[in-house]
């Protein structure tokens, strides 16, 4: 275990988990579970930067956990926990926030975008969000963080903060690298194929949720936006078809060229139907497992409790060093 590289990642429970999350993140997590020592958490503290309904947040947090497990993440191989259960995260975040410049946070494109959309609730948490994210990562001495385009800048800040602390005091944090998955894919909305398949703010018809029934999946793929070219091929001028080809290819592990060949001379109708069936086949077993897990609250509790216990041990060790180097008097 100790020889393995350490990987840290989290997903906010602010919406239902989508096919985009599955292909872009969860599927890779499952594929990597033997190779790395993984810390995967549900980022509930991050989700409250946008106002949440408490009962819904609670439900979505447990839903996320059940889905992680249903997707095949093994709690024996990975440390799976809920972020708010490990209080070292906000504690380290506080220390790091004193070494983060306002200018650095002002430059974050995600903050700039969100502040445009969220004008009536421009809170301080939204602004310091990347500092908490840095704490999430640095507490576990991560070697790698799997990041999509939208999180690259946050990881850059994390690296800067790690080096800044190490230089100011002494070596304390490992400086993490971005991990670009071998078969990563960005899944786009079925209705607006130039924007990412969203969790909360998208057109519902453009989003496939992992818990969607076969009927819902079929309907959404039938309505998927395509183009007037009429040829199934992979290029940027046909973002809708390109996205469907990506989904098909990732889930069947078949090369795009082969799939394109199958649809030579055929219309979009057949293709859309078939992609829908591929997705149904991939998600069916996950949905069934999820349904069994979500009704077993005791089991879920045992998973997040033991996950938090394991994470806490590691996180506390790092935080103890940080506090000591900062000059705080140790309680014990």
Please report whether residue 153 would count as binding ligand TRP according to CB under 6 A. no
Please report whether residue 12 would count as binding ligand TRP according to CB under 6 A. yes
Please report whether residue 252 would count as binding ligand TRP according to CB under 6 A. no
Kindly determine how many residues on this chain lie close enough to bind ligand TRP according to the rule CB under 6 A: 11
Phi, psi dihedrals of residue 19, rounded to the nearest 5°: -60, -35
Strand order in the sheet with 36-42: 78-82, 36-42, 5-11, 144-146, 177-179
Nearby residues of 8 by Cβ (< 8 Å), 6 or more positions away: 38, 39, 40, 136, 137, 140, 142, 144, 145, 176
Which letter does DSSP use for residue 77 in this model?
T
- The yes-or-no answer on residue 27 being catalytic is no
CB of 152 to ligand TRP, least distance (A): 11
CB of 39 to ligand TRP, least distance (A): 9
- 4, 112, 182, 196: the active-site residue: 196
Please report whether residue 89 would count as binding ligand TRP according to CB under 6 A. no
Which residue lies nearer to ligand TRP by CB, 42 or 224?
Answer: 42
- The yes-or-no answer on residue 199 being catalytic is yes
CB of 285 to ligand TRP, least distance (A): 25
Residue 270 to residue 308: CA distance in whole angstroms: 47
Please report whether residue 9 would count as binding ligand TRP according to CB under 6 A. yes
CA distances from 240 to 19, 24, 68, 183, 245 (A): 15, 17, 28, 20, 9
Which residue lies nearer to ligand TRP by CB, 69 or 145?
Answer: 145
Please report whether residue 49 would count as binding ligand TRP according to CB under 6 A. no
Segment near ligand TRP (CB under 6 A); pick from 9-17, 58-66, 113-121, 252-260:
9-17
Judge contact between 267 and 230, C-beta under 8 A: yes
CB of 37 to ligand TRP, least distance (A): 15
**The one among 46, 159, 199, 272 contacting ligand TRP by CB under 6 A:** 46
Please report whether residue 145 would count as binding ligand TRP according to CB under 6 A. yes
CB burial of 46-77 (b: ≥16 within 10 Å; e: otherwise) equals bbbbbebeeeebeebbbbbbbbbbbbebebee
CA angle 56, 58, 61 (to 5 degrees): 105
Terminal CA-to-CA distance of the chain, rounded, Å?
29
Segment near ligand TRP (CB under 6 A); pick from 2-10, 267-275, 283-291, 308-316:
2-10
**The one among 6, 7, 8, 79 contacting ligand TRP by CB under 6 A:** 8
Which residue lies nearer to ligand TRP by CB, 46 or 220?
Answer: 46
Nearby residues of 254 by Cβ (< 8 Å), 6 or more positions away: 248
If you count them, how many residues does the chain have?
A: 332
Please report whether residue 20 would count as binding ligand TRP according to CB under 6 A. no
- 12, 27, 199, 220: the active-site residue: 199
Please report whether residue 176 would count as binding ligand TRP according to CB under 6 A. no
- 4, 16, 112, 114: the active-site residue: 114
CB of 276 to ligand TRP, least distance (A): 27
Residue 314 to residue 302: CA distance in whole angstroms: 19
Q: Read off the tokens for 130.
A: 């990347």
Please report whether residue 162 would count as binding ligand TRP according to CB under 6 A. no
**The one among 6, 7, 42, 43 contacting ligand TRP by CB under 6 A:** 43
What would the DSSP string read from start to end of 98-160?
TTS-HHHHHT-HHHHHHHHHTGGG--HHHHHHHHHHHHHHHTTT-SEEE--GGGHHHHHHHHH
CB of 81 to ligand TRP, least distance (A): 12
Q: Read off the tokens for 299.
A: 């089991």
Footprint of ligand TRP (CB under 6 A):
8-10, 12, 43, 46, 133, 136-137, 145, 151
Known catalytic residues? Answer: 114, 196, 199
């Amino acid at each position: 275990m100790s020889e393995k590289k350490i990987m840290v990642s989290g997903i906010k429970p602010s919406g239902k988990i989508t096919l985009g999350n599955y292909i872009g993140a969860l599927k890779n997590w499952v594929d990597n579970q033997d190779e790395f020592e993984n810390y995967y958490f549900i980022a509930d503290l991050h989700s409250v930067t946008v106002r949440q309904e408490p009962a819904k947040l609670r439900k979505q947090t447990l839903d996320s956990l059940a889905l992680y497990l249903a997707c095949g993440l093994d709690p024996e191989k990975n440390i799976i926990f809920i972020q708010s259960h490990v209080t070292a995260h906000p504690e380290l975040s506080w220390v790091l926030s004193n070494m983060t410049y306002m200018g650095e946070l002002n430059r974050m494109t995600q903050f700039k975008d969100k502040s445009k959309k969220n004008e009536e609730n421009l809170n301080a948490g939204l602004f310091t969000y990347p500092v908490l994210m840095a704490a999430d990562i640095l507490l576990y001495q991560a070697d790698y963080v799997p990041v999509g385009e939208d999180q690259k800048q946050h990881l850059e800040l994390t690296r800067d903060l790690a080096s800044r602390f190490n230089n100011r005091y002494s070596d304390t944090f490992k400086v993490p690298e971005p991990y670009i998955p071998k078969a990563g894919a960005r899944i786009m909305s079925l209705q607006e194929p130039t924007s990412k398949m969203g969790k909360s703010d998208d057109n519902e018809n453009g989003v496939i949720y992992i818990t969607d029934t076969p009927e819902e999946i079929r309907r959404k793929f039938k309505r998927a936006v395509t183009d007037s070219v009429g040829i199934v091929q992979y290029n940027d001028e046909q973002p809708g078809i390109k996205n469907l080809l990506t989904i098909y290819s990732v889930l069947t592990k078949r090369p795009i060229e082969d799939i394109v060949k199958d649809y030579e001379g055929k219309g979009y109708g057949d293709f859309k139907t078939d992609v829908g069936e591929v997705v149904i086949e991939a998600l069916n077993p996950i949905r069934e497992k999820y349904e069994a897990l979500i009704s077993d609250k005791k089991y879920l509790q045992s998973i997040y409790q033991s996950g938090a216990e394991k994470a806490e041990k590691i996180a506390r060790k790092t935080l103890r060093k940080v506090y000591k180097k900062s000059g705080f008097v140790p309680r014990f």
